[in-house]
């Protein structure tokens, strides 16, 4: 078999990690035009990371490869990588998402590398099939999910294929990569909404702009139609003199009609106190309505015998108002009338018996200058109670106590998550989709669009398919409406919000006690036109020059990947139950889109049996769930190893829930080990692992927890069929020979870019697993194959084998045992002797305090500001490092640089100790201490530059750190 000549790709050698991570984190705060605003999907990868990874996966590394006779020498390769890095740094910026000049340069690099690869393989027997220099290979993501990867491949000029088992994910991907190219460049066909003039619209309809405009126009029409049918269910509020009698803030509004933004309800149960057992008392987690300075408001319950009513008070909320009727965490409340505790068991029993109700607490209206908070109005409550929905989704919620909490309280079906009025609104909008499609088709024909009578699902491009495409996007607005229109939505009273929270604030459906019922006809959060506009803005920015194909496929059996570039973001072990969660949207999308995609929406719920998630409730036990995941993921990834285009590595994302670093085992996580096991068993060798930090900077270490890279990109090549087997001893010998150089590259910069301590224990896995996974097996002493978990422990242990001076060795081990707390003098004396030092010497060195029979390490804040490394006759690396941290935290990077310049020979050891201490703190869960070490390495480049500016003392030239 003729071997294929495969140049190393940039991603297998180097990446500008910091630039990618910064752009990915920033993207989390961007909303307008982002695909996430079209339709919610859980754990969607940042576009910046997806774009950078696919680019680096396709572009050849410039380095010299003797066996291929290609590339340039080390110095020229470094310069060329810098040029490619600068392009990636431009490419990942949100502002350049649709910057054709930057994108064209990126596409040119991809073409250049592709043609070089084709030239190397021009004599290969399959050259015509695999290496056509005039046609780029297509892209495929077999776990397409929220569609970020296929979208970015398309943006980079590749024909993009996406597949997923989940019908909601398939529909999202169709809306992103399949529909826009099919109808690109067409002018809108819908009539302008009343009162609008053509002059305010786009002058041209390039790309998907016309599509986006028609979504907006038919969305406006649907709102008007829905308001005719159900507008009476959403009454306005007239500010009467009676309402304003005790509210000076309302007096200027007397006589005005205000639109309601939301009705705020509290769930109720009958009081457990026998004297009040006939009264339904509120379960309110808070009575606070607004905490905005100068605009504060809260609900005040007024008890009158065996009755109560709610009033609204302007002013700072009382402590009682902040607490609501809640007693403690979970479902523990008190009876408003008798103060009798109401425990969770009682509430669950009442809920399951169908005796949980709801009572209106307050009304939020649109005032001339912000929100107006009003007491309940009996007529409004009566209207809400009289609504009779004609349909409700009867699909049952999964019996998954970890992610679905409402079943304990008798809310068993998706229909139970909505009020009758919410059900009527969602049903009305859903039923209007088919009317909008019919109307759009007629308008398209009238505008001269030809019609082949073929629908969207069958590949149609005429009026019928176009109208159905508009219907798909409008149906997505219904998903947005449902997300902010269920009884899981509460009211966010914080100063910056004063708005409805959405259902999926987390990847679960929690239980809420006081909830907010929004008005789709208002002009505030969750209203229909906002949902249409958000979607239209995203559609405008979708690339449409290259085609896309989306199908429903099981990743274990699909053949779409054949000879395609593959990058994919599979499910993460047991982190997210996509299929269960997406039923929330599926039940409404099915009602609207079953005529458009009959095959996709044939079942009553999303397919779940084949979903590759380790869900214990579905499989009976944790062990069975893990076995199912490992077996299925191995099959799916084996598929990729066999099918993917042989000239490119496959990139696979893996996301951590949280690190589980305990003891000397290093970074480990059941899901991570299981996933790596699947990748290796599938026939892949891992050639790199890149930590992608996609959280906002202020979340790197948050809430007192240890936070690691939010995802790892694995770079994989098919393992050689004749890969040898080695012993544990040979594996360790190779680790010891390879990891020091890899660690130096990661912590000293170079082509790998500095890796922060927060990511180091993940990043070092790459070169370690590259050694482990290239072999058919690594055999233990008893002849059994080494497990991935063991290999990870051996790789991580490498980080702990640093060699420091005796005083620093003492400090390191004492810190590990005691932290900053005092310990017994006798124990310190024994440890000091073992390390070749003494407690008195450590006191003299200025790193510990010894008094009253105890010893403790001095914190950096306690070190003297006038310390001089030149005159200190005993300076352990520990002391030098903490003085550097003191300088950085009290005087900034310039001062730290000046200090570093005065002790250049200690720089290498200080940096190594910083990583060691960070890893130690992270394992112990000491988040605040870990922060100091992480911040030092993050600032190291700037400190080094400042040291260079100050002039190194005692060395020639610049420090090469």
Whether 719 shows a pLDDT value over 80: the answer reads yes
**Predicted pLDDT of residue 756:** 64
- What average pLDDT score do residues 743-758 get? 60
Q: Distance (Å, rounded) from C-alpha 774 to C-alpha 791?
A: 13
Please give the radius of gyration of the chain, using alpha carbons only, rounded to the nearest integer. Answer: 31
Of the listed ranges 54-68, 346-360, 731-745, the one predicted with least confidence: 731-745
Percent of the chain with pLDDT over 90: 66
Q: What is the model's pLDDT at position 598? A: 96
Read off the pLDDT of residues 946-960 as tens digits, 9 standing for 90 and up. Answer: 998 887 554 433 333
pLDDT single digits (tens) 227-269: 999 999 999 999 999 988 889 889 999 999 999 999 999 999 9
Closest CA to 858 of 868, 846, 867: 846
Highest mean pLDDT among 393-397, 629-633, 753-757: 393-397
Q: Looking at residue 957, what is its pLDDT?
A: 35
pLDDT of residue 701: 29
pLDDT at 667: 42
The pair of structure tokens assigned to 941 is: 């480049």
Report whether pLDDT(741) > 80.
no
What was the pLDDT predicted at 712?
Answer: 83
Query: Cα 472 from chain centroid?
Result: 25
The lowest-confidence range among 23-37, 327-341, 565-579, 790-804 is: 790-804
656 pLDDT above the threshold of 60: no
In the prediction, which pLDDT does 660 show? 38
**pLDDT at residue number 761:** 65
More confident residue, 169 or 399: 169
Six token digits for residue 960: 């090469």
Per-residue pLDDT, 534: 94
In the structure, what pLDDT confidence band is assigned to residue 574 with cuts at 50, 70 and 90? low
Residues 6+ apart with CB under 8 A from 917: 812, 815, 881, 929, 933
pLDDT at 894 over 80: yes
Query: pLDDT value at position 135?
Result: 97
Greater confidence (420 vs 195) lies with 420
pLDDT at 272 over 90: yes
pLDDT in the model for residue 13? 84
Q: Which two tokens stand for residue 18?
A: 């910091």
Check whether 68 has a pLDDT greater than 60.
yes
Give mean pLDDT, residues 755-759: 62
Report pLDDT for 842. Answer: 94
Residue in the block written with tokens 């009578």: 453
pLDDT at 668 over 60: no
pLDDT at 612 over 90: no
Above 50 in pLDDT, residue 408? yes
Percent of residues, the chain, with pLDDT higher than 70:
92
Q: Which residues on adjacent β-strands are paired with residue 303?
A: 308
Per-residue pLDDT of 529-542, as tens digits, reads 999 999 999 999 99
pLDDT at 837: 86
Classify 312 as helix, strand or coil.
Answer: strand
State the pLDDT at residue 954. 45
Which tens digit of pLDDT belongs to each residue from 438-487? 999 999 999 999 999 999 999 999 999 999 999 999 999 999 999 999 99
Sequence-separated (6 or more) residues with CB below 8 Å from residue 79: none
3-state secondary structure 553-595: CCCCCCCCCCCCEEEECCCCCCCCCHHHHHHHHHHHHHHHHCC
Backbone torsions φ then ψ of 825, nearest 5 degrees:
-60, -40
Going by C-alpha positions, the residue among 148, 28, 17 that lies closest to residue 698 is 28
In terms of phi and psi (left: phi > 0; alpha: psi -120 to 50; beta: otherwise), the region of 622 is alpha
pLDDT digits 0-9 by tens, 114-158: 999 999 999 999 999 999 999 999 999 999 999 999 999 999 999
Per-residue pLDDT for 584 more than 50? yes
Mean pLDDT computed over every residue of the chain: 89
Structure tokens at 12: 């297998």
Winning range, highest mean pLDDT, from 97-101, 814-818, 919-923: 97-101
**Region 377-403 average pLDDT:** 93
Nearest CA to 83 out of 61, 54, 115 is that of: 61
> 418: left (phi > 0), else alpha (psi -120 to 50), else beta?
beta
pLDDT band at 418 (very low <50, low <70, confident <90, very high): very high
Average pLDDT on 372-387 reads 96
pLDDT for 280-313, tens place per residue? 999 999 999 999 998 999 999 999 999 999 999 9
Residue 342, H or E segment? strand 341-342
**Cα-based angle 626, 631, 633 (whole degrees, multiple of 5):** 90
The reported pLDDT for the residue numbered 958 is: 35
The DSSP bridge partners found for residue 551 are 163
Rounded to two decimals, the pTM is 0.83
Tell me the residue ranges of DSSP E strands in 394-512.
491-492, 499-500
* 414-417-418-423 Cα dihedral, nearest 10 degrees: 0
Q: Give the CA diameter of the chain.
A: 95
pLDDT value at position 799?
66
What angle do the packed helices 728-748 and 788-797 form, to 10 degrees?
A: 50
């Amino acid at each position: 078999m003729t071997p294929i000549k495969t140049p190393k790709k940039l991603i297998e050698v180097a990446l500008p990690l910091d630039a990618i991570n910064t752009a990915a984190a920033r993207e989390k705060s961007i909303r307008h035009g982002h695909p996430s605003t079209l339709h919610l999907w859980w754990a969607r990868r940042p576009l910046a990371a997806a774009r950078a990874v696919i680019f680096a996966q396709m572009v050849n590394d410039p380095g010299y490869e003797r066996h291929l006779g290609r590339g340039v020498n080390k110095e020229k390769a470094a310069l060329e990588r810098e040029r490619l890095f600068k392009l990636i740094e431009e490419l990942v910026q949100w502002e350049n998402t649709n910057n054709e000049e930057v994108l064209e340069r990126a596409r040119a690099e991809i073409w250049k590398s592709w043609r070089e690869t084709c030239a190397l393989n021009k004599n290969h027997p399959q050259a015509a099939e695999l290496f056509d220099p005039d046609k780029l290979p297509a892209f495929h993501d077999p776990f397409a999910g929220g569609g970020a990867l296929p979208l970015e491949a398309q943006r980079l000029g590749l024909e993009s294929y996406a597949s997923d088992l989940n019908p909601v994910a398939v529909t999202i991907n169709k809306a992103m990569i399949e529909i826009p190219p099919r109808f690109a460049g067409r002018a809108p066909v819908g009539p302008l909404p009343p009162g609008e003039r053509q002059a305010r619209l786009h002058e041209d309809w390039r790309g998907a702009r016309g599509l986006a405009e028609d979504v907006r126009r038919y969305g406006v029409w649907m709102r008007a139609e829905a308001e005719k049918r159900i507008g009476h269910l959403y009454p306005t509020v007239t500010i009467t003199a009676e309402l304003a009698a005790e509210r000076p803030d309302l007096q200027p509004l007397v006589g005005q009609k205000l639109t309601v933004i939301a009705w705020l309800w509290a769930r109720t149960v009958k009081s457990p106190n026998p004297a009040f057992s006939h009264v339904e008392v509120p379960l309110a987690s808070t009575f606070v309505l607004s905490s905005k300075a100068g605009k504060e408001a809260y609900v005040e319950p007024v008890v009158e015998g065996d009755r109560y009513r709610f009033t609204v008070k302007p002013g700072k909320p009382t402590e009682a108002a902040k607490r609501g009727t809640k007693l403690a965490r979970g479902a523990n409340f008190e009876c408003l009338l008798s103060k009798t505790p109401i425990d969770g068991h009682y509430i669950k029993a009442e809920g399951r018996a169908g005796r949980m109700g709801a009572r209106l607490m307050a009304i939020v209206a649109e005032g001339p200058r912000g929100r107006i908070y009003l007491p309940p109005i009996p007529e409004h409550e009566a209207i809400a109670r009289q609504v009779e929905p004609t349909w409700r989704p009867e699909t049952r919620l999964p019996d998954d106590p970890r992610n679905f909490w409402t079943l304990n309280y008798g809310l068993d079906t998706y229909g139970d998550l909505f009020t009758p009025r919410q059900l009527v609104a969602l049903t009305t909008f859903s039923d209007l989709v088919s009317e909008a499609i019919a109307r759009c088709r007629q308008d398209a024909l009238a505008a001269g669009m030809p019609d082949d009578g073929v629908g969207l699902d069958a590949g149609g491009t005429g009026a019928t398919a176009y109208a159905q495409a508009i219907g798909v996007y409008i149906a997505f607005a219904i998903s947005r409406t449902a997300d902010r229109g269920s009884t899981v939505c509460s009211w966010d009273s914080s100063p910056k919000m004063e708005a409805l929270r959405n259902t999926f604030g987390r990847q679960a459906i929690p239980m809420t006690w006081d909830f907010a019922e929004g008005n789709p006809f208002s002009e505030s959060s969750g209203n229909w036109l906002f949902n249409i506009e958000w979607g239209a803005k995203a559609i405008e920015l979708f690339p449409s020059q290259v085609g896309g194909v989306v199908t429903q496929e099981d990743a274990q059996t699909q053949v779409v990947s054949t000879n395609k570039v593959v990058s994919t973001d599979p499910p993460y072990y047991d982190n997210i139950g996509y299929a269960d969660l997406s039923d929330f949207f599926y039940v409404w999308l099915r009602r609207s889109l079953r005529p458009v995609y009959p095959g996709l929406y044939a079942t009553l719920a999303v397919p779940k049996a084949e979903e590759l998630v380790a869900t214990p409730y579905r499989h009976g036990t944790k062990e069975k769930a893990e076995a199912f995941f490992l077996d299925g993921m191995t099959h799916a990834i084996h598929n990729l190893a066999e099918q993917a285009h042989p000239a490119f590595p496959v990139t696979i994302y893996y996301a951590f829930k949280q690190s589980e670093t305990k003891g000397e085992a290093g970074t480990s996580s059941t899901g991570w080990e299981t996933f790596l096991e699947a990748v290796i068993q599938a026939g892949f060798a891992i050639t790199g692992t890149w930590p992608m930090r996609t959280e906002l900077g202020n979340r790197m270490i948050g809430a007192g927890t240890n936070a690691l890279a939010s995802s790892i990109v694995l770079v994989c090549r098919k393992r050689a069929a004749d890969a040898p087997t080695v012993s544990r001893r040979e594996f360790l010998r190779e680790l010891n020979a390879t990891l020091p150089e890899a660690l130096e590259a990661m912590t000293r910069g170079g082509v790998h870019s500095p890796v922060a301590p927060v990511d180091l224990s993940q990043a070092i896995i790459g070169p370690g697993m590259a050694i482990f996974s290239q072999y058919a097996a690594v055999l233990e002493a008893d002849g059994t194959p080494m497990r991935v978990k063991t290999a990870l422990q051996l790789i991580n242990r490498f980080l702990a084998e640093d060699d420091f001076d005796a005083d620093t060795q003492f400090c390191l081990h004492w810190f590990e045992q005691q932290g900053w707390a005092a310990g017994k003098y006798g124990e310190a004396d024994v440890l000091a002797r073992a390390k070749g030092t003494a407690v008195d010497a450590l006191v003299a060195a200025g790193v510990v305090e010894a008094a009253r029979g105890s010893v403790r390490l001095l914190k950096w804040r306690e070190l003297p500001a006038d310390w001089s490394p030149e005159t200190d006759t005993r300076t352990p690396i520990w002391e030098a490092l903490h003085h550097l941290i003191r300088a950085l935290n009290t005087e900034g990077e310039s001062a730290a640089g000046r200090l570093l310049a005065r002790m250049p020979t200690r720089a290498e050891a200080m940096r190594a100790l910083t990583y060691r201490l960070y890893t130690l703190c992270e394992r112990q869960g000491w988040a605040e201490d870990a922060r100091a070490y992480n911040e030092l390495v993050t600032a190291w480049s700037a400190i080094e530059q400042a040291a260079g500016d100050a002039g190194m003392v005692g060395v020639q030239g610049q420090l090469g750190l």
